[in-house]
Every structure is written in C-alpha cells, then in structure tokens.
Structure 1
Amino acid sequence: MTDLGLFGPDSVTWRVHSEPIITVGGLRSLYLQALHPRAVAGVEQNSRYRKDPWGRFQRTAEYVTTVVYGTTEQAERAGRRVRAVHSRMTATDPRTGERFRVDEPELLRWVHVTEVESFLDSALRGGLRLEPEEIDGYYREQTRAAALVGLDPATVPDTAAAVEAYYERMRPELALTVDSAATGLFLTLPPLPFGLGLTPVRGAAFSVSALAIGMLPAWARKLYGLPGLPGTDRLASVNARVLGSLLRTIPIEWIESPARKEAMRRLTEAGRTGNA
C-alpha cells in the first residue's frame, strides 16, 4: 500500500494547500499570533528569526508541506522534532514576570488555530470554492496536524463555528505589547536578502504584507491601532482574488515544494489522481 500521508488526495487539506496564495495566509497568521502576549514573548525570547527571517520562513514552510504532503512517518517525525525543540524552551511573561513553558497547550492551540484559519481564509479569498461542510472538513482534518505538536485533538476547534467562538473567547486575552508591535513592524518591513531591499522587490514585499494585514479580522486590525475603514475587508478580498488568479497562472512545477512533488510521485505509483 502506498502511504499517502495524514490527508491524501481526496482531502480538503490538499485542495486548500494547493492554492499558492496560502503563503499570504501564513503571514497573516504571524500577525495574529503576535497579539497573544505570551506567544509573542516565547518567540522573542527563544527565536533567532530577526537574524535569519528567511531561513525561519523556509523551515516553517518545509514543516507545513511535510505535514500536508509527506508520508505518515515523515509527518510524525517532523512533529517529534518540533515537540522536542519546544519542550526545552521557556520564557518570561513580560506583564507578570511568571516563567512559563512555550509548549503550554493554550499557546500551541493559539498558534494552530490562527495558522489553519489563516490558510483557509486566504485560499477562500483567493478564489477557492468550498461548501460549508467542506470548510468544517478542513478544520476536522487539521486536528491531525494539531496532534503532531502535542495537542489533544478533542481540545482543538474543528468547525468554522468553533473557530469563531474560540476567537471570541480569546479576544480579552489579546493585546498590543511592545513585543507584538515590534514583531508586526518587522513582518511588514523585513530585511530582504541579496540587496533586494534597494530594488522594486521591496515594494512587492510591502504589498504582500499590506494584503496580509488587510485580511486580518477587524478586531485584530483595531488592536494594532489601524484605522477601521469600512471598505478594508472588501478591498482585501478583491486584491486577494486578483492575486490568487495571477498565481494560478504560474506552472505548478515552478513553485511546488519537494514534499508535494514526492507526493505526486507516490500518487502516480499508486495509480491515483487527486485534487492537489
């Protein structure tokens, strides 16, 4: 039997993650994650992302694509590595001085929910059509990814309604701290490699950041102190649809990850086709 991984070609997950625009969703999730004071403190006090932002981005992308497209063993091995790294990390809450572990379920759950909700939001705005039951199916499938980082799947929101309720429940705990403001600024104007910061690439990168910010929930933009213009959501959706259409014109062979390419090879060996 060919191992098609945690999800496989008939999953909603493969449909969502076949949309190139989910990269913007990944950036959106980082803006959201930074609004949790403990989550952002854990990153600021343990990560070297400021010194190597693009390396960090690549490693995160490789982890996500391995979980989505890798074999079951590859996904589980990637999860074990993440759990091992997190188990050694602690941080200090800047508001209370309390020392905490970065693998606390509350923090892992916040990162997971903001990530998968952002991937889905960007794919839908980019033009992917899913029925409500398929949207819920994506969230249910992603509880398998949540288990890899150490979460009990039963504690993870697994429908669109549950995710919305989770955000409502979390909002009183969110705030714009010094760390979150600094992280938001860094995400908006990151250093570009190879001297590209002095080229038009800077403008393109800023446009992507602006789109990710525009796609944030209104309450998140408000926490960042951004003006609550009534047309922001509509404009972000229009821009995402245009970008999604443009990205779909790029031959998949130019941009597909090694994990996806290998998954397609396994599919061919198994005589299968899929929605990826």
Structure 2
Amino acid sequence: MEQHKSYHEQALQPQQWDYLEHPADRAAAAGADPEPDEPDADHESDQAGQWGLFGPSTVTWRVHSDPLIGLATLRALAMQVLHPEGMANVFATARRVDDPWDRLQWAQRHIGAVIFGNSIEAAMTGARLRAVMGQVGGFSGEGSEFRGDDEELVLWMHCCQVASFVEVTRRGGLTLSDAEHEAYLNEQLRTAAVWGLEPDRVPATRRDLTRYFRRMRPQLRMTHEARAFISSLISPAVPELLALTQRNRPSWAPVAGLAWSSLPNWARGMYSSVPGDGAGSLAPSAATVALHSLRDELHRNRH
C-alpha cells in the first residue's frame, strides 16, 4: 500500500535535505517491480495521470533526483532575495529572517509535489502557493504598491529556481548535453503554468533566461534583510545545524556557503563583502570542484 500514498504523505523529513526522492526509488525500496523502460509504458502512465506533469523519461526527473538539488534550492533562495519584493515573498513562508530553514523545507515540499506528484497534487500545490502569495503585499522601493502574486514577481521567483536547479546540478557533475539543458527549461513551462504564469512569457531557452536576468539586474539591490537572510544560511544556529545534518555528511555551514559561492558572478558582485569564510569565499572555479566533491560524497552516502 506504500506506493499508493500521496506525495504529501511521503513528504521529505527535515533531515532529508540533499535530494528530492525519486518515486521509482520509493517503489523499488517497497519491493515493487521496477517501472518498464518502454516509452509506451511511460506514455500510458502519463495518460492515466500517474506521473502528473512529468515522468521518468523527462530531463526534469533527472535534474530533480540529483543529490545537489537541496543545495540548488538554497542557491535559488539566495538569488530570490536580491529582488526587494521577492524578499517579501520569501518572508511569507519563513518564520523570521534569521531562520530560513522552514523556508527551505517549504520550498522543497512544494517543488517536489509539482515535479513528482500526480496531476491533482501538482494543481493543489499551485493553488496553495498562489493563495499564500496573494496575501503578501507592500510597497516597493519606488513607493508603488505590489502584491506577492504579481506576475512579474512570480516570474522572478520561478526563473531563479529553474536556473539554479539545472546550473548547480550540471556544474556539479550531472551529465546533461546542451540540448538536454534546453529541454529542461522547456519542460519547466509546465511548472510555470502551475504557478499561474502564462507560458509564452516565461524564458524557455538558455539565451532567453540570460536575457531575462540581464533585464532584471537594474531592479535588484542588496538590502539589510537580504544580507541577514544570506548570512543566516551560511552561519546557521548550532541547534538548527544539528537538527538538519546526519552522520557522515558534510556540516551544513560549509554546504550553505557553497550554495552562495555557486551564485552567478553578477549576483556575488552585489555584495560589498563575502558573507562568511570557508566555502562562502571560494572562487567560481574552486566552487565547481567543491560541487563535484560534494556530489560524489552524497552519492556514496545515498547508496
């Protein structure tokens, strides 16, 4: 009966930060027969709604089953808070600025439900997110009023996630061709639709995504709240650190520092100083090497 539970009933525990569990892995662990490899079987499952928005044959499942997906989620948060109104959306699902771990777990649960859940779970997750963001409001730096579910703001949140997921996992050693990278971005139009975005407004190629971030950069700034949020990621309180790590895994602070070091150069350049030392001060080339090493270690602990 285990394989018939919903994704939310099998949601990640706080300790499972490193990857979003692949449904096929869960079925195998429960003693179920592995899924057939034939494309027709995948198609039939998709038609029946078993795989929801995606399926075993998609690049999305490969990316989101990677051990570095948790670190990529952290990197996405570090990008999102550079948008002042995006910071408000992050606050909406974090208890306080110096406690980002609830926000990380919240993001993992919701993203995982959309990626690995069935069609109903994906739709319900999107509705829940839109309801939360619809309650966020305030005034921008220019004095204009904004809502958390404004299309431009939701688009920013989505693009930070998509870019982080594929760039961190690929940079850390996940084998993806340029064509598969492009395919992932195109597949993520389905996720964008769940968040309430019009697909024709969402960057669906690497070129379009690069242009989007270039266009957004004048609107970004380093606020006190954003710096406090990033600093709390890199230097978490010890009780939280102990609760979120498992034996034989790298300590959380260096991993969080590596998430910051994996940011694009333009994002790192917005800081007047490095928010921390150790992994948080790695040069881009050294961060790439560290991502490879971390991914290898996580693979060993995972199997």
Query: TM-score, normalization: structure 2?
Result: 0.75
Q: Give the SS at the match of 2:251.
A: helix
Structure 2 counterpart of 1:80, from 127, 133, 152: 127
Q: Which runs of 5+ in 1 are unaligned?
A: 253-276
Q: Give the C-alpha shift of residue 158 in structure 1.
A: 0.6
Higher relative contact order (CA 8 A, sep 6+): 1
Instruction: Work out whether 1:148 is the aligned partner of 2:199.
Output: no
Q: Give the C-alpha shift of residue 88 in structure 1.
A: 2.3
Aligned length: 248
Task: Indicate if the aligned counterparts of 2:114 and 2:122 stay in contact, CA closer than 8 A.
Answer: yes
Task: Indicate if the aligned counterparts of 1:44 and 1:179 stay in contact, CA closer than 8 A.
Answer: no
Structure 1 counterpart of 2:286, which letter?
L
Q: Give the C-alpha shift of residue 250 in structure 1.
A: 2.7
Partner of 2:296: 245
Task: Indicate if the aligned counterparts of 1:127 and 1:244 stay in contact, CA closer than 8 A.
Answer: yes
Task: Indicate if the aligned counterparts of 2:94 and 2:103 stay in contact, CA closer than 8 A.
Answer: no
1:184-231 Cα shifts (integer Å, max 9, x gaps): 22222233446839x999x8222012111111111111101246xx97
Q: Give the C-alpha shift of residue 100 in structure 1.
A: 1.1
Aligned equivalents of 1:80 and 1:44: distance in 2?
19
Aligned equivalents of 1:136 and 1:200: distance in 2?
35
Q: Give the SS at the match of 1:91.
A: strand
Instruction: Work out whether 1:63 is the aligned partner of 2:110.
Output: yes
Q: Give the SS at the match of 2:51.
A: coil
Give the RMSD, CA atoms, in angstroms.
2.6
Structure 1 residues 195 and 33: CA distance shift in structure 2, 3 A: closer
1:135-186 Cα shifts (integer Å, max 9, x gaps): 0100011111111111111111111111111111111111111221222222
Structure 1 residues 71 and 192: CA distance shift in structure 2, 3 A: farther
Give the structure with the higher percent helix: 1
Partner of 1:163: 209
Higher alpha-carbon deviation: 78-87 or 10-19: 78-87
Q: Which runs of 5+ in 2 are unaligned?
A: 1-43, 275-280
Partner of 1:174: 220
Structure 1 residues 77 and 44: CA distance shift in structure 2, 3 A: closer
Aligned equivalents of 1:133 and 1:194: distance in 2?
40
Q: Give the C-alpha shift of residue 133 in structure 1.
A: 1.1
Partner of 1:7: 54
Structure 2 counterpart of 1:232, from 272, 280, 283: 283
Task: Indicate if the aligned counterparts of 1:83 and 1:149 stay in contact, CA closer than 8 A.
Answer: yes
Task: Indicate if the aligned counterparts of 1:45 and 1:91 stay in contact, CA closer than 8 A.
Answer: no
Structure 1 counterpart of 2:291, which letter?
A
